[in-house]
Amino acid sequence: MTTAKVELPPKLVRLFSGEARYRIAYGGRGSGKTRGFALMTAVKAYQFAQQGTSGVVLCGREHLNSLDESSMEEIKQSIRSTPWLLPHFEIGEKFIRTRDHRVSYVFAGLRHNLDSIKSKSRILLAWVDEAEAVSDKAWLKLIPTVREEGSEIWISYNPERETSATHKRFREDPPEDSVAAEVNWRDNPWFPKVLEQERIEDKKKRPDQYDHIWEGDFVSVVEGAYYADLLTQARLDGRIGKVMPDPYLPYRIFIDIGGTGAKSDAFAMWIAQFVSREIRVLDYYEAVGQPVGTHLAWLRAKGYDEKAASVWLPHDGATHDRVHDVSYESAFRGVGYKTTVVPNQGKGAASARIEALRRLFPMIWFNESTTKGGRDALGWYHEKIDERRGIGLGPEHDFSSHGSDAAGLMAVAYEPPRGGEKESFEPDFE
């Protein structure tokens, strides 16, 4: 009996050992994930053909406008560089198939080709590369199409966000019949010298992006984000860590309001204390579509009740909620919170908040364990760009907007008035 040799990083060897419906690999650049998966699709296609099984190997990505954007070239290279595999395949400009024509490759974009994928018969193996961007809708449609006995679904990607559909489905709550591995550059025995030079360069010059690019961490800051460099500096300065409250000072709650409808914007709150020249950010809260009672319950459970804290709202905090005929101002005042509605800053308000927060950032200390969601929002908050004209259009409105707007409100509230003296927002505690 002849034994074929397949060279893979050790973590991928373990990933492809034994039986499993789902095989999942995630991590940073240079790990060998894509090359290893490409090679193993060919090994699997060869095995299917040898068993007399006919069908397709589906290679999908969320978006795929042409074969140039697919994994086709990677798979071709893997087959050509494996002498014992090459005689068993036919490789053309636009196709890959086993020489007996039992198994062929199909390359498709999941976003726009889901219906055609569903119509394809006998999908023996589906490999989804760059799977971070795949939507839950795509997963819901794709998974039932891979229904042949013994069929498998393979997933490889570089993580970006904990909120992605791929993370939630395959890491946060993985299927029972699955195996997973985190694979990074140090796990690749063939990690090339040219990438080592790039890795060292990124660590030196782009420390805010290094962990995501090379170590498989989630994105903490986006290139060009308003606060990316400031968050990196805060980490280097030791201002992200264990931050204790001052028991003799009140808490300050800075809010960006949401709504109670199913499709409402998020409601976000930062909890801080102003201690001399320090802004101690102690906690962060965010919720979508919840009534004000839910937010109040969280504040009280954490000890930020009306006896210990005061509230700052944006100008629309005085506006009545569309579902419940009550304003946030009246709701907080009604339960005893000293409440300030910050006036509308007019045109350019978003820019004013951004600049105010950037000026104050060197004074801010974050309690690491309770502010991660808010810091993720700050690290992502960035300019919307008109790429055709190359001009900025103001902040991009996405998941990061609400936490960032609440932090900006905190900075505006801290700003001294025109007279040069610091404005006092101290609540009147009895």
Residues 170 and 275 reside in one and the same domain? no
CATH number at residue 390: 3.30.420.280
**Which pLDDT band holds residue 324 (cuts at 50, 70, 90)?**
very low
Residue 148 domain flag: yes
Which segment of 13-22, 116-125, 159-168, 238-247 scores lowest on mean pLDDT?
A: 116-125
Q: What pLDDT score was predicted for residue 67?
A: 74
Residue 319 domain flag: yes
Mean pLDDT of 248-260: 86
Point out the domain boundary residue: 124, 153, 187: 187
Residue 222 domain flag: no
Q: What pLDDT score was predicted for residue 264?
A: 63
Cβ–Cβ < 8 Å for 396, 384: yes
- Please give the distance of CA 328 from its chain centroid, rounded to a whole number: 30
CATH number at residue 44: 3.40.50.300
Residues 18 and 119 reside in one and the same domain? yes
Number of domains into which the chain is organized:
2
Residue 281 domain flag: yes
Compute the distance between CA of residue 211 and CA of residue 406 in angstroms, rounded to an integer: 27
Residues 26 and 136 reside in one and the same domain? yes
Mean pLDDT of 119-132: 87
Packed helices 33-50 and 72-80: angle between N→C axes, nearest 10 degrees: 70
Residues 170 and 252 reside in one and the same domain? no
Mean pLDDT of 218-228: 77
Residues 253 and 169 reside in one and the same domain? no
Q: Which domain does 406 fall in, by range?
A: 240-414
**Which pLDDT band holds residue 422 (cuts at 50, 70, 90)?**
very low
Residue 49 domain flag: yes
Q: 142-175: string of b/e by CB count within 10 Å (b at 16+)?
A: beebbeeeebbbbbbbbbbeeebbbbebbbeeee
**Which pLDDT band holds residue 415 (cuts at 50, 70, 90)?**
low
Residue 125 has pLDDT above 80, yes or no: yes
Residues 366 and 278 reside in one and the same domain? yes
Residues 55 and 161 reside in one and the same domain? yes
Residues 96 and 168 reside in one and the same domain? yes
Residue 329 domain flag: yes
Residue 220 domain flag: no
Residues 267 and 342 reside in one and the same domain? yes
Residues 153 and 254 reside in one and the same domain? no
Burial class of residue 325, CB neighbours in 10 A (0-12, 13-18, 19+): exposed
Backbone torsion region of residue 344, taken as left when φ is above 0, otherwise alpha when ψ lies between -120 and 50, otherwise beta = beta
Cβ–Cβ < 8 Å for 298, 291: no
Point out the domain boundary residue: 152, 167, 187: 187
% the chain with pLDDT above 90? 62
Residue 391 has pLDDT above 60, yes or no: no
Q: What does R_g of the chain's alpha carbons equal in angstroms?
A: 27
Residues 124 and 262 reside in one and the same domain? no
% the chain with pLDDT above 70? 85
Residue 301 domain flag: yes
- Please give the distance of CA 53 from its chain centroid, rounded to a whole number: 39
Residues 254 and 403 reside in one and the same domain? yes
pTM over 0.85? The answer is no
Which segment of 132-141, 153-162, 203-212 scores lowest on mean pLDDT?
A: 203-212
Q: What is the mean pLDDT of the chain?
A: 86
